[in-house]
Amino acid sequence: MRYSRQVLLTDTETVVSWRARPRSFVALMGLYESNFIRLGWLAGGLAALSGRHTSSVRGDCELVLTVTERSPYTSDVNLTYLLPDARGALQYPDMRVRIYHDAHLVEARQWADAHSQPLLRALRSRAERELDQRWARNMMLNKWLEYCVERGHRFPSSTEPEAGE
């Protein structure tokens, strides 16, 4: 049987007879897929990203995306806010993210080691198992990406890095 792109798009709307258990591995993969979509809202074609990109929105902190490593099937990026500070800009939450281009997934692999925010500290301390830690990081990324889009952040659609890179 031959599938066209239209059939695949329609196929995603098919009601399924199973539901992934919350906080299960299957649901986590769904979260990674959602992260891929949301990061695409911010940065456009993820497979073509390179260099460093910034997004400035009035009334919000500067958002920075830096591609740190590229391979044919994955890219590693840092995504962070630059928070104003007396000693210079603080990078927070300083997320390390891996993009799986072929699978259309984005995984938050690491975030700032120490959190000054009590809610983030409590969330991290409750994440005991590896699956729980992945859930915490990726839920944070998912909600943050959605928030950034709602604030109006977008990275230029050009894949050219900023001057000086």
Q: Does 128 reside within a domain?
A: yes
Q: Which among 115, 141, 155 has a CA at the least distance from the CA of 34?
A: 141
Q: Is 69 left (phi over 0), alpha (psi -120 to 50) or beta?
A: beta
> What is the rounded CA–CA span in Å between residue 34 and residue 101?
14
pLDDT the model gives residue 51: 94
Residue 50 within a domain: yes
Q: Which residues pair with 126 in a beta bridge?
A: none
Position 10 in a domain:
no
Tokens coding 81: 């806010």
Q: What is the pLDDT of residue 2?
A: 44
Q: Is residue 17 part of a domain?
A: no
The answer as to whether 135 is a domain residue is yes
CA atoms of 154 and 149, how far apart (whole Å): 7
Q: Which DSSP string corresponds to the chain?
A: ----HHHHHHHTT---S--PPTTSHHHHHHHHHHHHHHHHHHHS-GGG--SEEEE--TTS-EEEEEEEEE-SSEEEEEEEEEE--TTSPEEEEEEEEEEETTTTEEEEEE--SS--SHHHHHHHHH--SHHHHHHHHHHHHHHHHHHHHHHT----S--PPPTT-
**Could you tell me what percent of the chain has a pLDDT over 90?**
47
In a domain, 67, yes or no: yes
pLDDT class of 31 with cuts at 50, 70, 90: very high
Based on the structure, what is the number of domains in the chain?
A: 1
Average pLDDT score over residue span 67-87: 92
Per-residue pLDDT tens digits for 136-157: 889 999 999 999 999 999 997 6
Q: Residue 75 has what pLDDT?
A: 96
37/137: higher pLDDT: 37
Q: Is residue 6 part of a domain?
A: no
Instruction: Report pLDDT for 97.
Output: 96
pLDDT in tens, 5-16: 444 444 445 454
Q: What is the pLDDT of residues 81-118, one digit of tens each?
A: 998 888 888 888 889 999 999 999 999 998 765 556 67
Q: Look at residue 6 in the predicted model and tell me its pLDDT.
A: 46
Give DSSP secondary structure letters for 71-86: -SSEEEEEEEEEE--T
Domain residues for the domain of 52 are: 22-151
